Amino acid sequence: MDLSFTPEQEAFREEVRAWVKSAMPPHLAAKAEVDGNFSMPEIMEWHKILYQKGWVAPHWPEAVGGPGWDAAKRFIFTEELEKAGTPQLSPFGLVMVGPLIIQFGTDAQKERFLPKILSGEEVWCQGYSEPNAGSDLASLRTTAEDAGDHFVVNGQKTWTTYAQYADWIFCLVRTNQEVKKQAGISFLLIDLKAEGVTVKPMLTSGHTPAFCDTYFDNVKVPKENVVGKVDQGWTMAKALLGHERTMIAAVGQSTREIGHVKRIAKKTLKDGRPLLEDDVFRAKIAKLEIELEALKMANFRALAGAQLGHAPGPESSILKLRGSEILQRTQELAMEAMGQNALTWFNEDGVVPQNEEPVPSTFNYTRATTIYGGSNEIQKNIIAKMILGLPQPGKSK
């Protein structure tokens, strides 16, 4: 297993790095420089720049509008975007439902949805979690009743990220009450403009309107909007979550965030000296960098497998588990470095302590990384069962 990059791959890295530097508009580059928060219009602006370049969907095959890159190029491209601090594109269309439609969708579904996902003309969100079905996703209660040529959907989804900006939502819905809970679920595409859909944003503790509650009241959905077969949505849901968990490893993002911590520590004084010169604080950074290197090697092993054509397996749970924990700890160190200034959110007069406005908000937002994509407690169970072969609680081996 070769974990090093070839000269050709390193040349591609330099190409991506140079293009990003030249392609980012000044107002986006200025925010990226200070690790600022990007608005949805800014995210979609960057989406369309990548689309024009042909790089908006690095993991899509050429036949459906992607660049046709191998796993190594996809990894390099994603890592360079993260390191540059570019706006993070909404993953729900490009990374989640798009690839699922490519794999399981009908020709009509591919023709209808894929081009508009690529161009950014239609924005997507995810309808998985419910008030009483989060990590135990198979306990979902949103129903889709057969009404001849369509389904009638009733229920509620929660944590539907940025649903207020979305045009479509992909949902797991219960289509069969008579079988075991995993077997009676279907994967359904729902137009958020349909009659009976209500989206209610909620304000997070980090002062961002990131999440929404989404309600369905007798919403009519055509049967041709089922992806795959009726009652077999659980298989697709697991495949989709595997890709999401690999994405949450966020090695490039954590690398940049550690650099951000160092920047803050350079201008924060402790006993008259920069905090970055404090041995205890430097040791905390070093420990985190060592753990990030270990995660990077695990990511490279997954990449080597992908180069051989292996789909993400249970090892994606390791990447999700450690990646989310490390990302959270980068924010904890940033908060520690800011000291009492970290207690200030967005000041009414517009004055931002130490020019680090996003830190407290990002700290709060990243509390969710150990929950979404399947909580880390669930990931530990998957690792224990699928990798270590340990019996599950209450079950004999």
Catalytic residues: 244
Q: Do residues 214 and 199 make contact, with C-beta atoms less than 8 angstroms apart? A: yes
The upper half-sphere exposure of residue 345, i.e. CA atoms within 13 Å in the direction of its Cβ, equals 11
Q: Which of helix, strand or coil describes residue 96? A: helix
Whole-angstrom distance, CA of residue 248 vs CA of residue 238: 15
Task: State both tokens at 310.
Answer: 């292996």
Task: State both tokens at 137.
Answer: 């996703």
Whole-angstrom distance, CA of residue 308 vs CA of residue 356: 43
Q: Which of helix, strand or coil describes residue 118? A: helix
Which residues are registered as beta bridge partners of 157?
A: 214
Phi, psi of 167 (to 5 degrees): -100, -30
Give the dihedral sign, CA 49/50/52/57.
negative
110, amino acid identity: K
Specify the length of the chain in residues: 397
Task: State both tokens at 271.
Answer: 């006993």
Give the dihedral sign, CA 296/297/298/302.
positive
H runs (alpha helix) in 85-177: 91, 98-104, 107-119
Whole-angstrom distance, CA of residue 370 vs CA of residue 327: 10
Whole-angstrom distance, CA of residue 153 vs CA of residue 175: 10
Q: Do residues 153 and 223 make contact, with C-beta atoms less than 8 angstroms apart? A: no
